[in-house]
């Protein structure tokens, strides 16, 4: 059983409410942090090795250290709760079941960054969660953890929740800032980075929900102790939202020393593949990261065990590896069609492209159409190379990473499952009736019923 | 066209969350309020919101047309927004969408003649572990099966009848 730093009390009766949360040791990190200097807190976060949990994995302490502090200009912390990456539903779980953990992390982080007004930008579809967060904020304020002169420290802080309105792109931090300003979610050209010019041109730090919640154990344990959990540059714990064809979909907190095999097959986590089928493929970190066939998922190309951490999941680069990403873990069994699955993702990215950059706006539409043709038996052999060519021309040629995010799943599907695409083209009628590649890519282990 | 007193109070509270002069930031939340009250965002509604926040109408139009949750034409009393992205697809969302369409006699994007139901397909709503799923009003309906769909349709019809 791995150590739980975030979800230890998530199942406790009434933990959503202040009294229970406080009894379980809640808000201790605020008491500790307000006796420290903001600089000392940033140092602890740096020492902890905590990396952004939204997808990019950028070191949080380093990001915080970039914030500009011009005289007389307010600074803002913005919590990115625009969780929209297909396969990802961990932040929702955290906000829904243990909202005070996020509020606690926000207060400490606001103090460290000098943000007197902090915003939570939450995706619009999570329409019932702002009520839960606002209840937690009101309770925290009623108990002196928010408002003026918190614990006599002289630090003032208010937290507000803003709902988005349906746009994946607003998970990109500069698009989120635009949206918070009441505009279309068009990403900004960087530089200037938000740390210099963010919301209303003020210095701004945007961090993911899970990242900000993890500040609580970082402060409680101290950066050095936190860094001892996990392995290498994958410190602390990570929330994984597991879904697809598994027995136990859900949100799991892992310490990053367990293997992918253990995560999928042990009863503590996913509980194996559903309906006694075999594992065919997996997207380990949200829809944007490369899909891997079973053999490359469980072992690296060098034949070493693959682990659930940043370094091991990306071992082999995009040729034979993938990424930790957002922790959205999508498992496909032997009956799933990679072409069709990739088509739904291409449709998703076409739908979500903001339209600013031509390679992404046009390219995602073309990829969707071509994939739909192949999936429905109307594809040509040359379409596969055309798809490859389009994704290559999107990647790296857009203002924001949505272009890359749209290109990578298509590239990986062709890289690892090219014969499945070819089979669709060669068997236009049969591909509508059944899927190709059943046991070919599937994990060869004995299936335990 | 005017917000209720309760909604107007809410608008003031929302504006107060942002620095002075930055009331444009209130636009997304205020459009949600408008949609709650008026059901969808007509040009007239958008112009009203623009005036309320001292914005040019075009600033409201460009936002309303960007975000997928804003309805730019009338929708049924019950809007079924069914996810069709990868993780839901591998758990059978195509069958669920087809079944809802069959039960209601409409295709995705259409509204029933009695104005009660609209069926819409949407992209990932962040409920992948509880697939297939749909949004109905403020909440999610998860682990959908044909039986559950039947029960939801029944529930909506009963609610509509009770409110008439």
Q: Which ipTM score applies to this complex?
A: 0.97
Edge-to-edge strand ranges of the sheet holding B134-136: B117-122, B78-83, B134-136, B139-141
Do A128 and B138 count as a contact with CB atoms less than 8 A apart?
yes
- A-B C-beta contacts closer than 8 Å: 143
The percent of chain A in helix, strand and coil, each rounded to the nearest 5, is 45, 15, 40
Q: What is the pLDDT of residue A439?
A: 52
A258 DSSP assignment: S
Q: Where are the alpha helices (DSSP H) in chain B?
A: 5-15, 27-38, 43-52, 57-64, 86-89, 93-104, 146-162
Nearest CA distance, A163 vs chain B (angstrom): 6
**Residues of chain A above pLDDT 90, percent:** 94
Q: What is the pLDDT of residue A48?
A: 98
Q: What is the pLDDT of residue B87?
A: 96
Instruction: Give CA separation, B102 vs A181, A423, B78, B147, B153, in Å.
Output: 42, 32, 16, 14, 12
Do A86 and B87 count as a contact with CB atoms less than 8 A apart?
yes
Do B19 and A83 count as a contact with CB atoms less than 8 A apart?
no
Tell me the residues of B at the A interface, defined by beta carbons under 8 Å apart.
17, 19, 22, 24-29, 31-32, 59, 62-63, 66-70, 84-87, 89-91, 122-131, 135, 137-139
Residue ranges of chain B with per-residue pLDDT less than 70: none
Q: What is the pLDDT of residue B80?
A: 98
Do A165 and B26 count as a contact with CB atoms less than 8 A apart?
no
Domains and CATH numbers, chain B: 5-64 (1.10.10), 78-162 (3.40.30.10)
Q: What is the mean pLDDT of residues A308-331?
A: 96
Chain B touched by A83 (CB under 8 Å): yes
Do B126 and A126 count as a contact with CB atoms less than 8 A apart?
yes
The position carrying tokens 């310490």 is A255
Q: What is the mean pLDDT of residues A279-288?
A: 96
Least CB–CB distance from B87: residue in A87, A124, A164: A87
Do A165 and B69 count as a contact with CB atoms less than 8 A apart?
yes
Average pLDDT over chain A, rounded to whole? 95
Q: What is the pLDDT of residue A437?
A: 60
| pLDDT single digits (tens) A18-58 | 999 999 999 999 999 999 999 999 999 999 999 999 998 99
Which chain B residues touch A118 with a CB distance below 8 Å? none
**A150: burial class by Cβ within 10 Å (0-12, 13-18, 19+)?**
buried
d(CA A16, CA A139): 11
| pLDDT single digits (tens) A221-236 | 999 999 999 999 999 9
Do A330 and B123 count as a contact with CB atoms less than 8 A apart?
no
Pick the closest to residue A102 from A125, A118, A124, A116 (CA basis): A118
d(CA A167, CA A309): 29
Q: Are A328 and B128 in contact (CB under 8 A)?
A: yes
Pick the closest to residue A401 from A33, A16, A55 (CA basis): A55
Instruction: Give CA separation, B100 vs B81, B83, B95, B145, B148, in Å.
Output: 11, 13, 9, 10, 11
Which chain A residues touch B126 with a CB distance below 8 Å? 83-84, 88-89, 92, 123, 125-126
d(CA A142, CA A140): 6
At residue A78, what are phi and psi to the nearest 5 degrees? -125, 125
Q: Where are the alpha helices (DSSP H) in A289-401?
A: 294-298, 310-313, 317-320, 338-352, 358-375, 381-394
Q: Is the pLDDT of residue A436 over 90?
A: no
d(CA A369, CA B157): 38
Tokens of B115: 């104005």
**Residues of chain B above pLDDT 70, percent:** 100
Tell me the CATH class for A231-333.
alpha beta
Q: What is the pLDDT of residue A328?
A: 97
Q: Which residues contact A242 (CB under 8 A, 6 or more apart)?
A: A248, A249, A250, A251, A252, A263, A269, A270, A329, A331, B129
Choosing among B50, B90, B121, B131, which should be mutated to test the A contact, i.e. which has the most A CBs within 10 A?
Answer: B90
d(CA B129, CA B134): 13
Average pLDDT over chain B, rounded to whole? 97
The position carrying tokens 């992918």 is A260
Q: Is the pLDDT of residue A448 over 50?
A: no
Q: What is the pLDDT of residue A9?
A: 94
Torsion region of A303: left, alpha or beta (phi above 0 gives left; psi -120 to 50 gives alpha): left
Q: Rg of the Cα trace of chain A? A: 22
Chain B touched by A179 (CB under 8 Å): yes
Q: What is the pLDDT of residue B95?
A: 97
Do A336 and B90 count as a contact with CB atoms less than 8 A apart?
yes
Helix axes B57-64, B27-38, angle to 10 degrees: 80
Nearest CA distance, A190 vs chain B (angstrom): 22
**A340: burial class by Cβ within 10 Å (0-12, 13-18, 19+)?**
buried
d(CA A171, CA A194): 14
Q: Are A234 and A256 in contact (CB under 8 A)?
A: yes
Classify domain A18-228 at the CATH topology level: Rossmann fold (3.40.50)
Domain A338-433 has CATH 1.10.10.60: no
Nearest CA in chain B to A185: B66
Which chain A residues touch B61 with a CB distance below 8 Å? none
Bridge partners (DSSP) listed for residue A235: A230
* Domain ranges across chain A: 18-228, 231-333, 338-433
Q: Are A439 and A278 in contact (CB under 8 A)?
A: yes
Chain B touched by A445 (CB under 8 Å): no
Q: Are A50 and A237 in contact (CB under 8 A)?
A: no
Which chain A residues touch B86 with a CB distance below 8 Å? 86-87, 283, 287, 330, 341, 344-345, 348
Q: Which residues contact A43 (CB under 8 A, 6 or more apart)?
A: A61, A223
Q: What is the pLDDT of residue A444?
A: 66
Nearest CA in chain B to A90: B126
Do A351 and B123 count as a contact with CB atoms less than 8 A apart?
yes
Bridge partners (DSSP) listed for residue A333: A279
Nearest CA in chain A to B33: A163
Nearest CA distance, A257 vs chain B (angstrom): 23
| pLDDT single digits (tens) A116-151 | 999 999 999 999 999 999 999 999 999 999 999 999
Indicate the pLDDT class of residue A1, thresholds 50, 70 and 90. low
Question: Of how many residues is chain A composed?
Answer: 449
Chain B touched by A128 (CB under 8 Å): yes
**Pairing relation of β-strands A250-255 and A237-244?**
antiparallel
Q: pTM to 2 decimals?
A: 0.96
Chain B touched by A163 (CB under 8 Å): yes
d(CA A179, CA A184): 6
Q: Are A305 and A290 in contact (CB under 8 A)?
A: no
Do A185 and B67 count as a contact with CB atoms less than 8 A apart?
yes
Which chain A residues touch B59 with a CB distance below 8 Å? 182-183
Sign of CA dihedral A168, A173, A178, A181: positive
Least CB–CB distance from B129: residue in A89, A128, A182: A89
């Amino acid at each position: 059983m791995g150590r739980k730093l975030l979800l230890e009390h998530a199942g406790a009766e009434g933990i959503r409410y202040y009294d229970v949360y406080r009894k379980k040791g809640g808000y201790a990190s605020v008491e500790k942090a307000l006796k420290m200097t903001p600089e000392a807190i940033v140092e602890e976060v740096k020492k902890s090795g905590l990396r952004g949990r939204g997808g990019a994995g950028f070191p949080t302490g380093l990001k915080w250290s970039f914030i500009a502090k011009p005289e007389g200009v307010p600074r803002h912390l913005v919590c990115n709760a625009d969780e929209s990456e297909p396969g990802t539903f961990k932040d929702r779980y955290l906000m829904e079941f243990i909202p005070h953990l996020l509020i606690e992390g926000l207060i400490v982080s606001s103090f460290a960054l000098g943000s007197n007004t902090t915003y939570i930008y939450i995706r619009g579809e999570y329409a019932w969660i702002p009520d839960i967060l606002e209840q937690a904020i009101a309770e925290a304020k009623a108990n002196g953890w928010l408002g003026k002169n918190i614990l006599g420290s002289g630090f003032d802080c208010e937290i507000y929740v803003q709902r988005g309105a349906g746009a994946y792109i607003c998970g990109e931090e500069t698009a989120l800032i635009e949206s918070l300003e009441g505009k279309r979610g068009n990403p900004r050209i960087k530089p200037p980075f938000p740390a210099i010019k963010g919301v209303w041109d003020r210095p701004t730090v945007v961090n993911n929900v899970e990242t900000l919640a993890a500040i609580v154990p970082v402060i409680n344990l101290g950066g050095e102790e936190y860094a001892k959990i996990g392995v290498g540059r994958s410190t602390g714990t990570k929330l994984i939202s597991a879904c697809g064809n598994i027995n136990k979909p859900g949100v799991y907190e892992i310490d990053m020393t367990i293997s992918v095999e253990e995560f999928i097959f042990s009863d503590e986590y996913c509980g194996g593949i559903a309906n006694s089928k075999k594992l065919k493929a997996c997207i380990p970190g949200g829809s944007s990261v490369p899909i891997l066939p079973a053999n490359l998922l469980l072992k690296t190309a060098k034949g070493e065990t693959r682990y659930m951490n940043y370094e091991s999941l990306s071992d082999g680069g995009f040729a034979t590896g993938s990424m930790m990403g957002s922790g959205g873990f999508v498992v496909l069994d032997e009956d799933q069609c990679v072409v069709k699955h990739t088509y739904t993702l291409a449709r998703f990215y076409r739908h979500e492209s903001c339209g600013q950059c031509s390679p992404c706006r046009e390219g995602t539409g073309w990829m969707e159409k071509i994939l739909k043709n192949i999936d429905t038996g109307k594809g040509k052999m040359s379409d596969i190379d055309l798809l490859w060519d389009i994704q290559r021309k999107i990647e790296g040629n857009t203002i924001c990473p949505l272009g890359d995010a749209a290109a990578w799943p298509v590239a990986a599907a062709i890289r690892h499952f090219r014969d499945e695409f070819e089979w669709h083209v060669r068997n236009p009628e049969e591909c509508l009736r059944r899927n190709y590649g059943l046991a070919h890519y599937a994990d060869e282990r004995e299936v335990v019923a | 066209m005017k917000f209720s007193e309760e909604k107007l109070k809410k608008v003031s509270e929302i504006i107060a969350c942002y620095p002075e002069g930055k009331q444009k930031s209130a636009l997304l939340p205020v459009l949600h309020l408008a949609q709650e009250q008026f059901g969808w965002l007509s040009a007239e509604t958008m112009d009203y919101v623009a005036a309320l926040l001292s914005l040019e109408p075009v600033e409201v139009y460009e936002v309303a047309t960007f975000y997928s949750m804003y309805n730019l034409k009338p929708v049924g009393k019950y809007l079924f927004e069914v996810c069709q992205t990868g993780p839901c697809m591998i758990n059978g969302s195509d069958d669920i969408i087809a079944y809802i369409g069959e039960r209601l006699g409409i295709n995705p994007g259409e509204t029933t003649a009695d104005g009660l139901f609209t069926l819409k397909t949407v992209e990932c709503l962040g409920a992948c572990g509880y697939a297939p799923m749909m949004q109905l009003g403020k909440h999610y309906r998860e682990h959908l099966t044909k039986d559950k769909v039947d029960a939801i349709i029944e529930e909506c019809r009963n609610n509509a009848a009770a409110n008439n």
